Structure 1
Amino acid sequence: MTAVEICIDDVAGATIAEECGADRVEVCAALSEGGTTPSLGLVSTILAEVSRIGVQVLIRPRAGDFVYSPAEVDVMLADIAAVRALPASAQVGFVVGALTAEGGIDTAVLSRLVTAAGRCPVTFHRAFDTLPDLPAALPTLVSAGVSRVLTSGGAPTAAEGADVLRSLVRLAGDRITVLAGGSVRAANVAALVAGTGVPEVHLRAVAPVAPSAAGSATGVDYSVPRLATSAEPIRAVLEALAS
């Protein structure tokens, strides 16, 4: 059975994902910027709310590129330690990525992050998709102790990267799990899995949310359009995979 991971940014998203039957969530903040490390309060509350699904925590200290200063690496290590100290009944894992200024995997930083994670599984995120040769880079992740790689096959969407995803799955074997992400939807997920053999898929399942408060009584207005996790696209993906 194909595992389904849902990218979320709030407690409601985690409970919706669990109730719908998803296998895992990836907890992030600032998804409009590609995701950053969520607050400890958010992670702690999610861990207290869910009981069945796995919880992966994004460790990314800022938006932008994936080349990190020593101080930023220290922040990442501290965030991992803080999350590991939280009480949890769910399996907790970490989602990380670090590149060199030359555009390769920063094996030194990655090694420190994997070591800090201890027995918690580590996913290398879509920084992987920026590398020039994905199949050639996969053994580096295996050697570093990474459990899973989130990838679209180096294309804008997983459907467009299907050929590379198929190659990665063959190369990975049972050494590392290929998690396909990038515009995964109910309309394409069955064909994607059948055509590539990916054992897991990752998606953000959202719908627009209407503001819950009245408009500003002055000229100052901080309301912005917001997206929130929705049950409908999660159920649709699960149904497509089951059919």
Structure 2
Amino acid sequence: MSNRALLEVIALDAEDAIAAQAGGADRLELVTDMAADGLTPSREAFASIRAAVDVPLRVMLRLTDGFSAGTHDDVEALVRAAAGLREEGADEFVFGFLDAEGHPDLVTVERLLAVISGCSWTFHRAIDNATDRDALRKQLADLPGLDTYLTAGAAGGVDDGLPTLLAEAARHDEPGYEARLLVGGGLRLEHLPALRAAGLDGFHIGGAARPHGWSGPVSADAVRAWRAAIDA
């Protein structure tokens, strides 16, 4: 099964996590507050989800809406939250911050890396809002643990970003492009054939796993439909 494509599903609680795993999710992204596009869950939420499922869990590190890390105090609070999640057993994370000019906020990223040393992590859709995607990748290329970019290819979603995703997939051997592309953000089933044909093997869904929207739980059947389509 080592060549099977990765399906990551957003989970808000243990009920979501159990349904996502039952439907064939390989990994979960744990967040709270999807009204703000996903913020850091509590230690208690992480612990309850960790106890409920045995798939890998990537925990969001983000305390404010948008792609800025916020004020000095916001960054300090984020570092404390990361340390607490590590103490609780979290060992995979998701984060990404830009400065006011749209360049990667390396100071904040390196503060977090000091706390999560040895962990794998995803740089999330901040890349889709960066001034220069290629420059960002080259700046981040040597950071320890970075193995994934969560991206739609464009700020507007996969419909807009598909050409970028296909072009970047073709560069996977170049410096800065070795990390896996995890496609998410307006991803629909009809995008999958072109993405799979280009060799892309990571897919991330949130609302697509929830037939009743964010107010309802993850549906194992919805996840199962994605699993089947990805594997087809």
- Residues 87-102 of structure 1 correspond to what in structure 2 (within 5 A)? 87=89, 92-102=91-101
* Aligned twin of 1:182: 185
Cα deviation digits, residues 121-142 of structure 1 (max 9, x gap):
1111111110122123212222
Verify: 1:120 aligned to 2:122, yes or no. no
| 2:37 maps to amino acid | G
Residues 57, 93 of structure 1: 8 Å contact kept: yes
- Distance in 2 (CA, whole Å) between partners of 1:65 and 1:87 is 26
* Aligned twin of 1:130: 129
Residues 123, 148 of structure 1: 8 Å contact kept: yes
- SS of 2:38's equivalent in the other structure is coil
* Aligned twin of 1:57: 59
* Cα displacement (A) at 1:230: 1.3
| Percent identity between the two aligned chains | 29
Could you tell me which runs of 5 or more consecutive residues in structure 2 were left unpaired when the two chains were aligned: none
Q: Which range moves more in the overlay, 38-47 or 181-190?
A: 181-190
Aligned CA RMSD, in angstroms, stands at 1.9
- Residues 39-50 of structure 1 correspond to what in structure 2 (within 5 A)? 39-50=42-53
- Distance in 2 (CA, whole Å) between partners of 1:87 and 1:113 is 16
Q: 1:206 to 1:168 in 2, by over 3 A?
A: same
Q: 1:191 aligns with which of 181, 189, 194?
A: 194
* Cα displacement (A) at 1:238: 0.8
* Aligned twin of 1:228: 217
* Aligned twin of 1:165: 165
Given the two structures, how large is their TM-score scaled by the length of structure 2? Answer: 0.88
- Distance in 1 (CA, whole Å) between partners of 2:97 and 2:155 is 19
* Aligned twin of 1:149: 149
- SS of 2:187's equivalent in the other structure is coil
Residues 8, 26 of structure 1: 8 Å contact kept: yes
Q: 1:134 to 1:65 in 2, by over 3 A?
A: closer
Cα deviation digits, residues 162-213 of structure 1 (max 9, x gap):
221123223343731111111223333233222x32220101111227xxxx
| 1:141 maps to amino acid | L
Aligned residues: 223
| 1:37 maps to amino acid | T
- SS of 2:74's equivalent in the other structure is helix
Residues 134, 154 of structure 1: 8 Å contact kept: no
Given the two structures, how large is their TM-score scaled by the length of structure 1? Answer: 0.85
* Cα displacement (A) at 1:69: 1.6
Residues 101, 131 of structure 2: 8 Å contact kept: no
* Aligned twin of 1:213: none
Higher relative contact order (CA 8 A, sep 6+): 2
